[in-house]
A and B are shown apart, each in its own frame.
Chain A
Amino acid sequence: MAINPEYAGRTFEPSEPYEVSRVKIAEFATAIGDSSPLCRDRAAAQAAGYPDVIAPPTFAIVILAGGNAKLMTDPGLGVNYAMVVHGEQSFTHSRPLRAGDVVVAQATIESIKQIRSMTTMATVTEIRTVDGEHVCTARSTLVERGA
């Protein structure tokens, strides 16, 4: 089964609200080896002008995983994840994600293309606070290799 081309152009329901926590930011920073105190110490982040600890630039992928859940788990889309590799990724931030943010992610499939035995799927996901403030636009391309 390959990715269903009829899903191109589809916008999914927004994710459930995700609350960004200090603990998760620190865990993510540790996992990528980022030792900045601004990711761990509220006082240090505030001294640098932020309301609370801030996330590294690729932290948005944590929220994307939730935001894309509606996409990923849609049985009609037909993705075989063992055959999927990540093709491209980009993030454009209006501001850093920070502890205390409550955000929702909404994904749109921009295109699904068949290239020889590969299928590529390009998505754009908007991450906004529950109050509607834009925080990050993430673009992803997944590549499903042919069986």
Chain B
Amino acid sequence: MASPGYQDIQEGAEIAARQYPVTRLDLVRYAGASGDFNVIHWNERIAKSVGLPDVIAHGMLTMALAGRFLTEWAGDPAAVTEFGVRFSSPVVVPDDDKGALVEIAGVVTGKLDGNQVAVDLTARSGDVKVLTRAQAVVRLP
């Protein structure tokens, strides 16, 4: 859903939640596109041997989905000028056709200069918060 634009946006406005499936294929594709080939993102044997429950998604893929949530809302890939997150829990991606589901939602916490707003995000996979302190500055039309 597109943002209402800077003039009409109100502090406290909620940005409706969206769900993003993440499959093993998505992890392989992201590894290639990003250049991050850390084995814990594609090799279940090694992931488990280092104490992880299964293969986990790149934190940066989760962050990228949160970025997409914001840029699609704002209507411009360049709208997110400041963006920071803490990776609080991994997104565990099982080896099946459904993979994991990441749900992202946001709230406008303030209107800033330069047609920009501050946004706080939440990101969950199942019942687990996968991002905390997820905050962005987004320029709106």
Contact = CB atoms under 8 A, between A and B. Distances in A.
The answer to whether A and B come from one shared complex is yes
Contacts of A38: 76-78
B87 interface: yes
Contacts of A145: 50-51
Nearest to B30: A31
B83 interface: yes
Nearest to A80: B50
A31 B32 contact: yes
Contacts, number: 118
A88 B33 contact: no
A34 interface: yes
* Centre residue among B68, B77, B85 by max chain A CB count within 10 A: B77
B68 A34 contact: yes
B34 to A, nearest CB: 6
B77 A57 contact: yes
B60 interface: yes
Given A30-B29, A65-B36, A88 B77 contact: no
B7 interface: no
Interface residues of A, number: 40
A31 B29 contact: yes
B139 to A, nearest CB: 10
Contacts of B80: 57, 93
B67 interface: yes
Contacts of B90: 85
B59 A85 contact: yes
Given A88-B86, A90-B82, A91-B82, A82 B77 contact: no
Interface in B61-76: 61, 63-65, 67-68, 70-72, 76
A90 B46 CA distance: 28
Contacts of B61: 31-32
12 contacts: A32-B67, A36-B77, A58-B60, A61-B36, A65-B35, A81-B38, A83-B50, A85-B87, A88-B84, A93-B81, A95-B78, A145-B51
Given A56-B64, A82-B38, A92-B82, 14 more contacts: A28-B34, A33-B20, A33-B65, A34-B71, A54-B77, A58-B64, A61-B60, A65-B35, A81-B38, A88-B86, A90-B82, A90-B83, A91-B84, A93-B78
